[in-house]
Amino acid sequence: MGGRGGLIMTKGNLALKLGLILGILVTAGLAIATALLICTAYSALTQQTAVTALDSTNIVKEGIARKLREEKSIEIVADFCRVTRETDIESLFLFDAEGRLVASAINGEPAPMSEERGEYRALLGRRGAKVLKADEVGSEAWLISGPDGRQKMRTVVEVDNWPKDGSMGLLVSDVSLGPAQQAARDMLSRTLLSGGAVFILLILTMAWLMERMVYRPLRTVDEKMARLAAGELQARVPSLGNDEMGRIADGFNQMAEALEEKMERLEALATTDYLTSLLNHRGFQERLEGEACRAQRYCRSFSLLMLDIDNFKRVNDRYSHQAGDEVLKQAALHILGNCRESDSVARYGGEEFAVILPETDGSEAQALAEKLRAAVDDQPFTVTGAREPVRLTVSVGVASFPTDSTQPEGLLMAADLALLRSKSISHNIVSSYSALSRLGKIDDPYLLHRYLEEGTVESLIALVEVMENRDPYVQGHSRRVTELALEIGARISLSEAELESLRLAGLLHDIGNIGIPVGILNKPSALTEDEWRFVRTHPPVGGAILNGVEGLQEIIPVVVHHHERYNGAGYPAGLKGEDIPLLSRVLAAADAVIAMLSPRPYRPAFTFEEVVEEVYRQAGEQFDPTVAGALVRILREKAKAPTNQKAAQNRSL
C-alpha cells in the first residue's frame, strides 16, 4: 500500500497543486477584471475630461466675443490669465483666421506674442495625438504630451464671426489631466482594496472548500489506511459522496473487504487440516490457549481428550496410504458427529485426534470419551480395495482443568500420558490422568512438559533424576544401573559406540515411569493386576517419549525391551533369546541386580552372595547366559574386595 508517509506526500502534493491552480486562476481573473475596470474607468474619465474641457473652452470663447468686437485684446489676455490661474486650463491661445496669435496666457501669466504662423501650426500639430472628442461645429479634443512629458488635454474651438470680416478664428487650450489622474488613482485604490478583500475572501473560501472536499476526506482515507496496515482489517471509510473522493472511498472499502475476506480464508487454511477439514495442530493450540485463558478468568472447568487410532499402521501397510487417508476422513466424521457443537475437534497429528470440551469436568469428559470410543468401535470403515469393511478402535486419554493441571501445556501432557497408558495397557480403552493421580502422588504434568519441551538428552536425564528424587528407595537408581551395565559391556567386549548407547539407555531406561504414581512404585505389598498393568506400560511409554528427541532413535529398542526375559516370559513384547537386543539383555541384568541390592519397603537389600546365587540360578531363564556369566564374575570380585572397598562398592551400586 506504499506506507503512511507516501500517502501523506501524495496528499500534500495534491492539496498544493490544487491550491496553486485555484490561486493562479483566481488571481488572474481578479487581475484581468481589475485591469478592465481601471481601463474602463480611465477611458470614461478621459472622455468626461474632454467634454468638460470643450465646455470650458466654449465658455471662454463666449466671454471673449464682445471684447473681440471692441478690440480689447488686453482684457482678453487678462481673462486668459485669470482662467489659466483659477481653473484646470493651463494655457489659452487665440488665433485669427490667418493664423496670427491674438492673445495667450500660460499658468496665469501672459505668454509672449509672436507673429510667426509656425506657432499656430505647432499648436495644431496632431502627430501622435489621439482624438478623444469632436463635435459638429468643428470643436475637437485630443491627448498630447507636454514639454515635461506629462499628458495634457488639448482642445480647439472655432471662433466664428470674427469682428472684422466675419471669418473663423481658433481658440486653443491645454487642460491639465491631474484631477482626472488623481480620480483614477483614487478609483484604483478603492478597487484594489475591495479586490483584495474579495481575493482574501475567495482564498479563505477556497481553503475551507479544500479542507472540506479534499484534505479532510484524504485525511480520513489516510487514517483508515494506517489502521488497515496495522492489521485492523475492519477499518472502513464513511461515505464521501458521489464525486472522485467518494469513488476513492468506495474503492478503499472494496479493497479492505476483499483483503479481510482473503485473510479470513488464509487464517482458515492456516488452522484447518487439509485432509479432514478439522482444526490442525496450530488451530488446536490456539483454541486450547483461548479456552485455558477463559477458564482461568471465570474460574470454569474444561477437559481435553486425546484419541489415537489403534494399529493404524496396518491399514497403510495392507491397503495403501490412500486408503489410510480415507479412514482418517471417516474417523474425523465419526468423532465430529458424536461431539457437541461447543466442542472443538482437531487432527493433532498423524492418526491422533484431540477434542476440547468446554464447561466439562472429569467425570463428564470420561463419559464423552467412552461414547466416542464406542462410536468408533461400532462403526465399520469403508476402504477402497478391501473386500469387507475394516473395523478400527481408538485409545483415549482424558485430562481436566484445573484438576490435572492449570496450564494448557500441562493439561496436554496429562492427556498424552493418559493416552500412552491406554495404548500400553490395552487398546480400545479410556484412561484419565485423574485416575492415575488417585492411586498416589504423581508428578506435575506441566513440569514434565517443561523438561520434555527442551528435547535434549540433558533435559531428559534431569527429568529422570527429578522423578527418582521423589522416591528415596530409587534415588540414583538409573545412575547405578548405568555404571554396572557399562562394566558388563566392557567384560563382553562391546564397542565404544555400543557402550555409549548403553550409557544413554541406562540413564533413560525408566523415563517411562512418568505418570506412574509413587504409591504403586513403592507399594509395600503385592501389586494388583491393574497396578501391574500400569507398571508394565513404562517401557513402551519411555520409547514413545524418546521418539520425540532427535538422536535417540537407536536406543529406543533398548529402552522398550529392557524388561524382556531370555526365556520369553518378560514384557512388553514377550521376546525370547537372541530376538532381544543385546544392549537390552545387558541392561535387564544390571537393572535386576541393582534392584536386588537396594532395600524396598517390603524387603531388605540382598547380599552379594544372595545376588550371585540368584543370577547364577536365572542364567538362561531371566538372563542371557553370557551376560549372566560376566555379571557373576563382576559380583564375585566385588564380594572378595576388602571391607572398606566393599562398602564403597555397595554405596555405588
- Residue 331 is part of a domain; what is its CATH number? 3.30.70.270
Q: Choose from 149-163, 198-212, 398-412, 436-450 the range with maximum mean pLDDT.
A: 398-412
**Residue 120 confidence (pLDDT):** 57
431-440, 580-589, 601-610: least confident range: 431-440
Distance CA 144, CA 119 (A): 16
Q: From CA 461, how far away is CA 168, in angstroms rounded?
A: 142
Model confidence, pTM:
0.55
Secondary structure element (H or E) that encloses residue 569, with its range: none
Above 90 in pLDDT, residue 228?
Answer: no
Task: Identify which has the larger pLDDT, 396 or 200.
Answer: 396
Using 50, 70 and 90 to split pLDDT, how confident is the model at 447?
A: low
Closest CA to 45 of 149, 151, 192: 151
The per-residue b/e assignment along 283-294, b for 16 or more CB within 10 angstroms, e otherwise, is bbbebbeebbee
Q: Are residues 324 and 383 in the same domain?
A: yes
Burial of 268 (0-12, 13-18, 19+ CB in 10 A): exposed
Residue 544 has pLDDT above 60, yes or no: yes
Give the chain's domain count.
2
Question: Considering the chain, what percentage of its residues have pLDDT values greater than 70?
Answer: 76
Contacts by 639-647 with C-beta closer than 8 Å and gap 24+?
Answer: 639/608, 639/609, 639/612, 646/608
Q: Which of 436-440, 476-480, 481-485 has the highest mean pLDDT?
A: 481-485
514 Cβ contact partners less than 8 Å away, ≥ 6 residues apart: 417, 443, 448, 463, 467, 541, 545
| pLDDT reported for residue 85 | 85
> Does the residue 343 lie in any domain?
yes
Same domain? For 613 and 471 the reply is: yes
- In this prediction, residue 216 carries a pLDDT of 72
Which domain CATH number covers 505?
Answer: 1.10.3210.10
Average the pLDDT over each of 25-39, 357-371, 437-451 and give the range with the smallest value: 437-451
Which pLDDT belongs to residue 292? Answer: 93
pLDDT at position 550: 80
**Count of helix runs (H) and strand runs (E) in the chain:** 24, 12
What would the mean pLDDT of 492-505 be, rounded to a whole number? Answer: 93
Mean pLDDT confidence for 208-219: 71
Closest CA to 171 of 104, 84, 81: 104
- Say if residues 129 and 42 touch (Cβ distance below 8 Å): no
Mean pLDDT, rounded, for 228-233: 73
Q: Are 355 and 490 part of one and the same domain? A: no
Asked whether residue 118 is assigned to any structural domain, the reply reads no
Query: According to the model, what pLDDT value does residue 121 have?
Result: 59
Residues 6+ apart with CB under 8 A from 313: none
pLDDT above 50 (res 70): yes
pLDDT at 304: 95
Q: Answer with the one of 392, 408, 438 that is the final residue of a domain.
A: 438
Last residue of a domain, one of 438, 472, 492: 438
**Which residue, of 396, 411, 438, is where some domain finishes?**
438
User: Is 534 found in the same domain as 607?
Assistant: yes
- Is there a single domain that holds both residue 366 and residue 413? yes
N- to C-terminal Cα separation, the chain: 71
More reliable by pLDDT, 540 or 16: 540
Mean pLDDT in residue range 358-379: 91
In a domain, 612, yes or no: yes
Same domain membership, residue 374 and residue 521: no
Q: Domain check: are 402 and 508 in the same one?
A: no
Co-location of 476 and 429 in the same domain:
no
- Residue 222, in any domain of the structure: no
Average pLDDT over residues 185-192: 71
Cis peptide before 540 (omega within 30 of 0): no
For the chain, the C-alpha Rg in angstroms (whole number) is 59
For residue 646, is pLDDT > 50? no
When comparing pLDDT for 538 and 368, which is higher?
Answer: 368
Reduced DSSP (H G I as helix, E B as strand, rest coil) percent helix, strand, coil of the chain, to 5: 60, 15, 30
Left (φ > 0), alpha (ψ -120 to 50) or beta: where does 349 sit? left
Q: Average of pLDDT values for 138-163?
A: 73
CA 260 to chain centre: 12
Answer whether 356's CB lies under 8 Å from 291's CB: yes
pLDDT for residue 587:
95
Q: Going by C-beta distance under 8 Å and a sequence separation of 6 or more, which residues neighbour residue 160?
A: 166, 168, 169
549 touches 460 (CB < 8 A): yes
Beta partners for residue 109, in sequence order: 106
Domain encompassing residue 577: 455-653
Crossing angle for the helix pair 625-639 and 608-618, to the nearest 10 degrees: 170
The proportion of the chain whose per-residue pLDDT surpasses 90, expressed as a percent, equals 24
Report the DSSP beta bridge partners of residue 431: 397
Q: What was the pLDDT predicted at 9?
A: 40
Q: At 82, list the grid cell.
A: 485669470
Residue 370 in any domain: the answer is yes
Nearest Cα residue to 510 out of 553, 554, 550, 480: 480
Confidence of residue 184 (pLDDT cuts 50, 70, 90): low
Output the pLDDT for position 534.
Answer: 74
| pLDDT for residue 6 is more than 70 | no
Mean pLDDT comparison of 88-97, 147-156, 387-396, highest-scoring range: 387-396
**Is residue 433 located within the same domain as residue 484?**
no
Is 223 a residue whose pLDDT tops 60? yes
- 558: pLDDT strictly greater than 90: yes
Q: What is the pLDDT of residue 130?
A: 53
Q: Calculate mean pLDDT across residues 204-220.
A: 72
pLDDT at 435 over 50: yes
Q: What is the pLDDT of residue 4?
A: 43
Beta sheet of 302-309, edge-to-edge order: 344-349, 352-358, 302-309, 394-401, 430-432
- Residues 529 and 554 placed together within one structural domain of the fold: yes
Pick 428 or 451 by higher pLDDT. Answer: 428
**Are residues 500 and 355 part of one domain?**
no
Asked whether residue 521 is assigned to any structural domain, the reply reads yes
Q: What per-residue confidence (pLDDT) applies to 71?
A: 66
493, 503, 502, 488: which is closest to 634 by C-alpha?
Answer: 488
Q: What local confidence, expressed as pLDDT, does residue 269 receive?
A: 67
How long is the chain?
653
**pLDDT band for position 165 (cuts 50, 70, 90):** low
Q: CA distances (Å), 136 to each of 63, 158, 260, 383, in order?
A: 21, 11, 88, 124
Average pLDDT over residues 337-365: 92
- Using an 8 Å Cβ cutoff, are 624 and 589 in contact? yes
The three three-digit cell numbers of residue 433, written as one number: 490422568
Q: What is the mean pLDDT of residues 342-353?
A: 91
State the chain's mean pLDDT as an integer: 79
Q: Are residues 519 and 406 in the same domain?
A: no
Q: Determine phi and psi for 563, rounding to 5 degrees.
A: -110, 15
Cell numbers 475437534 correspond to what residue? 345
Q: Does 294 map to a domain?
A: yes
**DSSP codes joined into one string, 90-132:** EEEEEE-TTS-EEEEEETTEEPPP---THHHHHHH--TT-EEE
